[in-house]
């Protein structure tokens, strides 16, 4: 198992949340972004247990049904199974309709490459045999190396990258992280 998967597997709350999402049977799914990044950075900063995520980003890919109502239905089901969490379920097959000037994505991993930071483009999926699969189309070196850098999309939207880091207070929460341009 990878280091990222090992860190996630040690968190009973995170594993419960992964089991909830797995029960939905979504195609090409993972929980990504802060769910992974925050747990890994908390672990590397010696913060235990990990701080709760303000929201949980669930990604899946299904070009056969790109309705927003479907996403909302999954959010409601997850809220029933695991209340007290802000679930954000997004079908990556429809994100080109939400974000203008973006070509349709091929799958969930492809969609993640268009996010602003490399450290956010890491997800995990709980498989039927209870193993964790790490979905990291841009790799995990930056995440594990405490190095935040923009993706190609983040470099093209540098003002959004900088504003996001400031708004999320990452420098305060994880002082050992290096922020690169």
**Residue numbers of the domain that contains 151:** 3-179
Q: Rounded mean pLDDT of 27-37? A: 98
Q: Rounded mean pLDDT of 167-174? A: 96
pLDDT band at 1 (very low <50, low <70, confident <90, very high): low
Number of domains in the chain: 1
CATH number of domain containing 82? 3.30.460.10
- Please tell me the pTM assigned to this model: 0.95
Q: Percentage of the chain with pLDDT > 70? A: 99
User: What does the H/E/C string look like for the chain?
Assistant: CCHHHHHHHCCHHHHHHHHHHHCCCCCCCEEECHHHHHHHHHHHCCCCCCCCCCCEEEEECCCCCCCHHHHHHHHHHHHHHCCCCCEEEEEHHHHHHHCCCCCCCCCHHHHHCCCCECCCCCEEEECCCCCEEEECCCCCHHHHCCEECECHHHHHCHHHHHHHHHHHCHHHHCCCCEECC
pLDDT tens per residue, range 64-116: 999 999 999 999 999 999 999 999 999 999 998 888 778 899 999 999 999 99
Q: Rounded mean pLDDT of 12-23? A: 98
> What is the predicted pLDDT for the residue at 103?
85
Taking 90 as the threshold, does the pLDDT of residue 16 lie above it?
Answer: yes
pLDDT band at 54 (very low <50, low <70, confident <90, very high): confident
Per mean pLDDT, which range of 46-60, 97-111, 158-172 is the poorest? 97-111
């Amino acid at each position: 198992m990878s280091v990222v998967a090992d860190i996630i597997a040690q968190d009973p709350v995170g594993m419960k949340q992964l089991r909830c999402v797995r029960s939905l049977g979504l195609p090409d799914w993972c929980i990504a972004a802060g769910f992974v990044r925050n747990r890994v950075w908390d672990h590397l900063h010696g913060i235990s247990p990990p701080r709760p995520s303000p929201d949980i980003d669930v990604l899946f890919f299904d070009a056969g049904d790109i309705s927003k109502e479907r996403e909302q239905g999954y959010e409601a089901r997850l809220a029933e199974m695991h209340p007290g969490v802000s679930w954000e379920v997004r079908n990556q097959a429809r994100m080109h309709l939400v974000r203008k000037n973006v070509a349709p994505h091929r799958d969930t991993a492809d969609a993640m490459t268009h996010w602003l930071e490399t450290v956010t483009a890491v997800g995990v999926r709980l498989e039927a045999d209870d193993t964790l699969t790490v979905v990291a189309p841009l790799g995990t070196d930056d995440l594990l190396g405490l190095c935040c850098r923009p993706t190609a999309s983040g470099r093209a939207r540098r003002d959004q990258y900088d504003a996001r880091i400031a708004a999320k207070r990452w420098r305060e929460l994880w002082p050992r992280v290096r922020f690169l341009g």
